[in-house]
């Protein structure tokens, strides 16, 4: 049996000969009408603020998977994340086709230790379906006080769903670590934050002191979901003497920004291998793309994630009303290839 539906005549105006600007105003008035009807007619009282925040998230979500509306607490969280420490389960996530997917688990964090992989889909949190939730809603549910735990079910292609209990802890992001393996230096960059460029320079200097006769370097960007553009440029520049690192192109033809390397290869031009996989996204792809196009490094692993777009965070009323994270440009590697959706192909 079908549910009972009552149709109420609310009068419909037909738009004729509207200019785009007038049409936008008409649709904004329509939005106000719909909000008014929901307030009066919905079965239980509603919270206007929540409804409007959800509408803003819906609007941004209709643009692309990486644009979103961050409510005030979401904006605070973003600022914490790029500065290098926060409390959580250690996951970088994104929306894709109505699902929230793991881009990468953070090194040594609760999710990584529990065996969560790049590409896993979050199907439920605390037994409630996560289908249709936005990235910020899922983030809110995953975050919480240190020491508290959260049950999350992950789906992986061809496997049974896995429910995992993750205990939240301070995710102290050590962006660069390094060690000597025989005659080679191994460098791990786990995320690109405000400290990455400096930490990489210090780590390379330390490894050179430990073994002055190094024969080459391995740069591990697997499961590195990205971060700040400036950090990606600094990491690329560490291995390049000259040339373009990345260009950024916006809506207008003349909105091209090019970023170039400064002289000085911190490794003195020694052989370099870069490791990437499906969890390498955004800033990781800029680095891999620049080093590949300049034939400075051999890229080894699996094709990367394919997030080649630039998001600008625009605070709303100084952040009091949250912020918009909106895609304003796309990244192109030095050879002019877009990273978006395609990713970086490894050499091996």
The CATH number of 174-332, from 2.60.200.30, 3.40.50.720, 3.20.20.140, 3.90.226.10, is 3.90.226.10
Catalytic, 307? Answer: yes
Q: Do 205 and 197 form a contact (C-beta atoms < 8 A)?
A: no
Among residues 136, 139, 175, 282, the one annotated as catalytic is 282
Q: What is the largest CA-CA distance in the chain?
A: 83
Per-residue confidence (pLDDT) for residue 16, from 0 to 100 = 54
Per-residue confidence (pLDDT) for residue 8, from 0 to 100 = 59
Among residues 101, 284, 292, 307, the one annotated as catalytic is 307
Among residues 293, 304, 309, 325, the one annotated as catalytic is 293
Per-residue confidence (pLDDT) for residue 196, from 0 to 100 = 96
Q: Quick one: 124 exposed, middle or buried, by C-beta within 10 A (0-12, 13-18, 19+)? A: middle
Q: Where are the domains of the chain?
A: 85-171, 174-332
What is the C-alpha to C-alpha distance for residues 95 and 131, in angstroms, rounded to an integer?
10
**Fold match between domain 85-171 and domain 174-332:** no
Per-residue confidence (pLDDT) for residue 6, from 0 to 100 = 62
Q: For the chain, what is the mean pLDDT?
A: 90
Q: Which tens digit of pLDDT belongs to each residue from 247-285?
A: 999 988 788 999 999 999 999 999 999 999 999 999 999
Which residues of the chain carry a pLDDT beneath 50? 1-2, 10-14
- Check: CATH 3.40.50.720 for 85-171? no
Per-residue confidence (pLDDT) for residue 12, from 0 to 100 = 46
């Amino acid at each position: 049996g079908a549910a009972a539906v009552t149709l109420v005549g609310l009068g419909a105006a037909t738009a004729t000969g509207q200019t785009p600007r007038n049409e936008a105003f008409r649709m904004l008035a329509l939005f106000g009408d719909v909000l008014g009807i929901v307030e009066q007619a919905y079965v239980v009282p509603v919270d206007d603020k929540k409804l409007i925040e959800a509408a803003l998230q819906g609007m941004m979500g209709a643009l692309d998977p990486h644009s979103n509306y961050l409510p005030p607490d979401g904006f605070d969280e973003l600022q914490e994340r790029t500065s290098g420490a926060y409390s959580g389960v250690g996951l970088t996530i994104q929306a894709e086709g109505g699902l929230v997917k793991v881009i990468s688990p953070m090194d040594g964090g609760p999710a990584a230790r529990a065996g969560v992989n790049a590409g896993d889909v979050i199907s439920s949190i605390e037994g409630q379906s996560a289908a249709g939730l936005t990235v910020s809603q899922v983030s809110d549910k995953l975050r919480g006080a240190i020491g508290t735990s959260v049950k999350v079910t992950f789906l992986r292609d061809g496997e049974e769903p896995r429910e995992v209990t993750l205990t939240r802890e301070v995710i102290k992001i050590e962006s660069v670590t390094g060690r000597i393996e025989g005659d080679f230096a191994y460098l791990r960059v786990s995320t690109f934050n405000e400290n990455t460029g400096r930490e990489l320079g210090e780590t390379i200097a330390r490894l050179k002191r430990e073994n002055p006769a190094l024969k080459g370097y391995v740069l591990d960007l697997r499961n590195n979901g990205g971060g700040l553009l400036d950090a990606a440029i600094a990491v690329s520049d560490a291995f390049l003497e000259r040339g373009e690192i990345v260009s950024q192109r916006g809506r207008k033809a003349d909105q091209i920004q090019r970023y170039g390397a400064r002289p000085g290869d911190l490794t003195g031009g020694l052989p370099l291998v870069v490791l990437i996989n499906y969890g390498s996204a955004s800033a990781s792809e800029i680095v891999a793309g620049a080093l590949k196009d300049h034939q400075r490094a051999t890229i080894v692993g699996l094709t990367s994630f394919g997030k080649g777009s630039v998001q600008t965070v625009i605070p709303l009323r100084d952040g009091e009303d949250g912020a918009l994270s909106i895609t304003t440009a796309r990244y192109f590697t030095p050879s002019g290839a877009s990273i978006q959706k395609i990713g970086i192909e490894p050499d091996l």
